Structures are given as structure tokens and as C-alpha cells.
Amino acid sequence: MHQVTKTGEIALSVIIACYNEEFVLRESIAELIDVMNVTRYHDSYELIFVDDLSKDNTVALIFELMEIYPQVKMKLIRHEKNTGRGRTVTDGLLAAKGRIAGFLDIDLETPAHYIPAAAMEIERGADVATALRIYKFLWRTFYRQILSVGYHALEAKVLHLPLKDTEVGFKFFNRERVLPVLTECEDPGWFWDTEIMARSYFAGLKIVEVPTLFIKRYDKQSSVRLVHDTIDYFQKLAHFRREAHRLEAVYRARGFSPAPVRTARTNAVISAGPALLKK
């Protein structure tokens, strides 16, 4: 399944959506590059930074990182207006060159070492490999977990979407297969994550959920405004319902039914590292 990559060709694009990342960027990029360098993609990956008009020193730091790691292919796209996470990731995906392209939140709450596992699923024929967060139980994150479970129960009921974690900031795609779906997505913000997953599902793309350990950080503040963003989400979900049902009807009228969503075996995740190590 693994295709041979010609010298200089990009096999994997990692998009880093940046918004005020000064606090985490240097350490996270070091960790990400450490991971990439031991994979078979060590000489065929690119990092695409998309800055969503950060107010801190993120952009200066990106230029610095470009100098620190001259051997790593890096690109920077800068927004003139703050657009939100969805639009930011989209711009990265549109600029990506890799057969496999995706993004991960650069606070690395879903650690970078799951990238090989996600890439492996795409190499094996999945169109979308998305993280399925496994949380360590903590009272501090309990309300977020409840919200997350509630949201996905609602998604299943309202959108007929059988996915367990659509909102995670860690998704990799077969780039060519997802492009038509990507251009249909409308929401520029957080709801984009639901939209891309729903549209992918109803376009018949093969989705794999990869269980990943989620390590919540307490040394930084979340940019999610819990009450505001939750209300926003529910409104958008209600609004998107009609579109999801339309997509489902169109798809079924063509005689198809959506591909079953698969959960990657956890030991596949563990074995993905060595399997993808460079020779």
C-alpha cells in the first residue's frame, strides 16, 4: 500500500493552526520534529504554519523556527483577519502537497507520536483518520467530558452521525479524497470540525477513529469559551441538521450507504511507531 516517494516529493503535510501559540510553539515543534524524524516520512514531510492573526510573538517565533530547523520544509501562511480554527486549517489543507495531510493542535494535548498511527491508517486505505480521545478521569475535566459525550449523543440522533469524537484537534486525511468535501464546508470556526466529519461520512469516505491518550494541559488557558461556544455549537448543529439530512438522502438515492466507521485497534496504535520507523 505504501507508495514510493520520489526524492523531494512531499508525502505528509502537517498543518499547524496558530493563534497565540508563543507559549507552546518552540517546545511542541521540537517534539513534533523529533517524532517525524524517526518515521519513514523523515525526508518527505512539510510543516505548514497558518497564523490566524496572533496577537503575541507567534509569527516571529515561526521565522525563528525556520532558521533553527533549515532541513525541515516549512511554509507560513498569514491571515490578515482572525477567521477561526476551521478556516485556518482549511487554508493549510489547500496549500498542502502531501498525499496525506492533516492537523493537530500544537499544544499537543493529543501527542505528536500518534501521527504515525494516523498516517498508517491512511496508507492502508482510510480517507480520514481522526483521534478518539481517551481521557484520564479527572474532576477538573469532568464537565468537558460530559459535554463531549452529550454532544456526540446529540450528533448521532440529530445528524445520524455515528462518530464518537468529531471535535478533536487531530485529523489526518487522504488529501485528494477530502478536497471536494473540504470546499463544501462553510463554518470558519469550531463547528467546522463537525461539518468536515459529517460531510466526509455522507460522501462515503472511509473514516477510522484512532484511540489516543488525551493529556489536558493546565499550564495554559483554553481558548474555548465554554458557555458561549457551547450555545453556538448547539445553534449550528440545529441549523446544519437539514443539510446533513439532504446529504444523506442524496447519497442513499445514488444507491450507497455510508462506509462503517472503524475504530483502530489500540495495539495497532502501539505498533504503528515501529512499523513506520525508517529503515
Mark 150-189 with x for binding to Mg ion (rule: CB under 5 A) and - for no binding.
Answer: ----------------------------------------
| Closer by beta carbon to ligand GDP, 79 or else 97 | 79
Query: Nearest-CA neighbor of 19 among 208, 221, 171, 177?
Result: 221
17 binds ligand GDP (CB under 6 A): yes
Mark 198-227 with x for binding to ligand GDP (rule: CB under 6 A) and - for no binding.
Answer: ------------------------xxx---
183 binds ligand GDP (CB under 6 A): no
Which grid cell sits at 170? 487531530
Question: What backbone phi and psi angles, to 5 degrees, belong to 131?
Answer: -75, 145
Distance separating alpha carbons of residues 209 and 190, to the nearest angstrom: 19
Return the number of other C-beta atoms located less than 10 Å from residue 183's C-beta. Answer: 10
Strand partners, 17: 50
Q: Which residue has the cell 445553534?
A: 235
Nearest distance in Å: CB 78, ligand GDP = 11
Distance separating alpha carbons of residues 57 and 108, to the nearest angstrom: 19
Is the CB of residue 200 less than 8 Å from the CB of residue 261? no
107 binds Mg ion (CB under 5 A): yes
Nearest distance in Å: CB 109, Mg ion = 5
Nearest distance in Å: CB 224, ligand GDP = 4
Nearest distance in Å: CB 41, ligand GDP = 22
